[in-house]
Structure 1
Amino acid sequence: MTDPVSISSSKAEGAMRTIGEVSAELGVKPHILRYWEAQFDMVKPLKRAGGRRYYRAEDVETLRTIDRLLNKEGFTVRGARQYLAGKVVKAPPAPAPVAAPAPDVPAIDLKALRAIRDRLAKALEAA
């Protein structure tokens, strides 16, 4: 099997690429690329006889951007579509940090909890 790096480096910069070459370059399975074609109108590979796809350089660049948005920056498909259409100007917000417990929580009486634990242990032994 050919190394994906050598595939992309053996072609000229503007050469058309097959779905297998783009798949190997991005590390994404071909069926995902076909799904992205259906979801993103701006990705329109040239289709030859038998349905074989050939991606132009601008298609490959768009797919790189889609991959980055979905798999690295956490966008949804809809959010990535809006971002590429210019309707979103920044990345989605980071998840909110986990809140600390409220300060009005009463202090735990460890001595009382240990006593309860010991009584439960004795009851289980007796059973």
Structure 2
Amino acid sequence: MNTSLLSIGDICTETGLSSDVVRVWERRYGFPMPVRLPSGHRRYRAEDLNRLRLIAEAVASGHRPSMAVRSSTDQLEAMVLKNATAAPNPILDELMIATQNSNSEKIKNLLAEALFQQGLRDFVIHTIAPLLERVGVAWAEGRLDIHHEKLLTEVLEDLLRKLRNELDQQAKGPREVVLMTTLPGERHRLGLLMAALIYTYKGYKTEVLGMDVPVANIAKSARQVGAHKVAVSLSILTAGESVRRLLKDLQERLPQGCGLVIGGQGASRTRKVQGVERMTRLEDI
């Protein structure tokens, strides 16, 4: 079986589009362009899947299909991110201003206020996650520089670790262990720490292995800590077929009974692997 070619059923499952919509886009816009097998069956290239997902997301957010199909991948990413960060939110506006001014104390005070008002789970989901999306858009548009992003990252990492440690100290009795990590080449830490905090809040004991860890070492660590499951954070930058191969390798190496779950922005843009749970939102934890 050629795993680089997908049926229209696979395409629809992965993107949420109907087969009718896919075929209309083929005729009108020339994308996706199927290949014809000797048997006469039509198949689609796996490398087109991520772009098709982005087009579907852009159209769902109100952009015209004709414009979305003509847009570059970078432009599509910007469309999707901008839509996700468009809703007005006063405290996020203030946090963005404090970040632009490199005012770490103001950032800390605003975060503490939001945490008090929202509670821990909603704070992570409705303040930290959308704040990072806004920062990503602002950086892409040149409104924030790298030092702004680095300063905010340090403040957030310190806070997320502090909150998780406090929950650990309050915990009583045995807890199932979740090993948190990222795959080789993945160096985005904040998503991992956010998920670890939510897992801890939900009553798990989380062991954060860190970033950019070889698959063999993830499996060894899972055995040593007695992990109930391994949670892998994927950013947009590490989505795709190479990630699927790493996930299959990791799945084969994990001890019997240890589950594997992926999450983060890259999770929805990586084709499903049988037996691997996929969480595309922090709310799914």
TM-score, length of structure 2 as denominator length: 0.24
Q: Normalization by structure 1: what TM-score?
A: 0.49
Q: Which has the higher strand share?
A: 2
Asked which structure has the greater CA Rg, the reply is 1
* Structure with the higher helix share, 1 or 2: 2
